[in-house]
Structure 1
């Protein structure tokens, strides 16, 4: 179990993670003088497993490939990443190089925001770091030009006619071809330009599922007070029920290894999908981490229906907690124990 004080090594969910070069080198790639980088991030708290003390956060910029496909069609026309033939692999094989990334973005009537969002995915910087990246925009039955704009920007467009946040992700994950999947909304709130640092953390900390924490003092102006209170309340209840230590159960930005999705049974079709995928991954025993991010002001129309969505999330937490475990049983490669 991780300690809440700094150590030369970190135990993430029972797995040994050897020293972070210079106290978290991955995110320390917050290189001095880097646009958007800030020395104040060095004191941010990261949750590894139920509790751990580390340091973190950062940013970076650039642009993205193109095509369309139906939600039920696993293949799309147009440029795509080659899919590796590991299928439902049980876990990463030591020494494997992770070099393909799928960025999945659900979108409902987000045509005006897509140029900013898609172009903020730093594909050039990621390519320089050895990541081949595809951007997938899931058109969730939009009535505007979301699909056309996304395709014009070079993204792969997946059509999901069944509305719902969870429905969009189910369709997007089916189409994703990367070894690693990253997510975020199409409303300009999530820092896709931080993906190089987030991927560095995923690999250097050797975790399988990484989620993000928006609930920091610096981000208060980007979220309505009522939404902030609801997020804190749902997150506290989620922690109490699942005992995973996650501070922000509702964050929509996650970075995880593809096989994690194959190893969990996420049923939600709506907004509760966000909390369910986190609780499913941590409950299944995958190595996980929570890192702080910058959360930005929303652009365009708010899609969240506060009261009905909040009540649905509340019901889902209890339903999931007392659901008999079924699909959340990952097979792992040899566990590495920290010497006593």
Structure 2
């Protein structure tokens, strides 16, 4: 079973190479599809070199910055594996947990597996209000999708490739997480959660998400569950 790792990156020259190296150490058959979202630093150059060295399988250069959602969609379209997992380039998530995410899919128990930062995995202690915001957004998403997730906003979502490619995803920026969750629920996907570790960055270390992204996520939860013919009825 081939796992395609879609790695969106924007201005991550300081971490992208280490991120790729960590993925390559995973004991699975992995394809890496890296998407440079029109970075203003040397991210694109680093990715091209890593591709020449055989560490990255495919590099996509977005002509202009469109956001994480658009970068992820580009990576999904280029994916050639049996399952797809999203991997941010900022080193907050540990690729060594891919086998844990893959197991329910391998056993044909799940179509999609979410890695939860709020179950029993170790995590770096950082921002209280980020935690509150994540839990609120997850609660609202659960109310509208009739799921019982603990971490809707997690980056780690591993999905069967045929299913993920069939979803009509349109979000360009940080609306990807609530959108893909809503569309998976609407499709009747079997969704599992597994605990993962999390080593969050501080803003000084390069963290990009702020309160405006939280408001945008709130809008996208409402948009894709109430206004896009996506509300789940069970």
TM range (shorter): 0.7 to 0.9
Question: For 2:35, which of 122, 138, 141 is the aligned residue?
Answer: 138
Provide TM-score, normalisation by structure 1: 0.61
The runs of 5 or more residues in structure 2 that have no matched partner are none
- Give, in whole Å, the separation in 2 of the partners of 1:216 and 1:290: 9
Q: Distance in 1 between matches of 2:147 and 2:61?
A: 34
Contact 1:222 1:295 in 2 (8 A): no
Q: Work out which of the residue numbers 231, 234, 237 in structure 1 matches 2:140.
A: 237
Alignment partner of 1:157 out of 47, 52, 59: 59
Aligned-pair Cα RMSD in Å: 2.0
Equivalent pairs counted in the alignment come to 223
Q: Which position in structure 2 is the counterpart of 1:322?
A: 226
Give CA deviations for 1:292-330 in whole Å, capped at 9, x if unaligned: 1001132731111x222111111111111123537x9xx
2:208 aligned to 300, 303, 307, which one? Answer: 303
Take 1:265 and 1:203, find their aligned partners in 2: how far apart are those partners?
25
Aligned residue number for residue 190 of structure 1: 93
The answer to whether 1:101 aligns with 2:3 is yes
Alignment of 1:265-304 (within 5 A): 265-298=168-201, 300-304=205-209
Cα drift, residue 219 of structure 1? 4.6
Structure 1 CA distance, aligned partners of 2:180 and 2:95? 20
Show CA shifts across 1:272-305 (max 9, x none).
111211221122101111111001132731111x
Aligned to 2:216: 312
C-alpha deviation, 1:225, in angstroms: 1.4
State the distance in 2 between where 1:142 and 1:205 align: 38
Unaligned regions of 5+ residues in structure 1, if any? Answer: 1-98, 329-340
Output aligned runs, 1:51-62, within 5 Å: none
Between structures 1 and 2, the one with greater helix share? 2
Secondary structure in 2 matching 1:244: coil
Query: Is residue 2:111 matched to residue 1:208?
Result: yes
Cα offset, 1:198, TM superposition: 2.1
Q: 1:235-268: per-residue Cα shift (whole Å, max 9, x none)?
A: 1111111111111110011111111123222221
Q: TM-score if structure 2 supplies the norm length?
A: 0.87
Worse-matched range after superposition: 162-171 or 196-205: 196-205
Name the SS of the counterpart of 2:27 in structure 1. helix
In the aligned structure 2, how far is the partner of 1:140 from the partner of 1:261? 21
1:113 is matched with which residue: 15, 28, 39?
15
What CA deviation, in whole Å up to 9, does each residue of 1:118-147 have, x standing for no partner?
A: 111145621xxxx3x211111011111112
Distance 2:161 2:216 in 1: 27
From the CA coordinates, give the structure whose radius of gyration is larger.
Answer: 1
Q: Does the 8 Å CA contact 1:122/1:193 hold for their aligned counterparts?
A: no
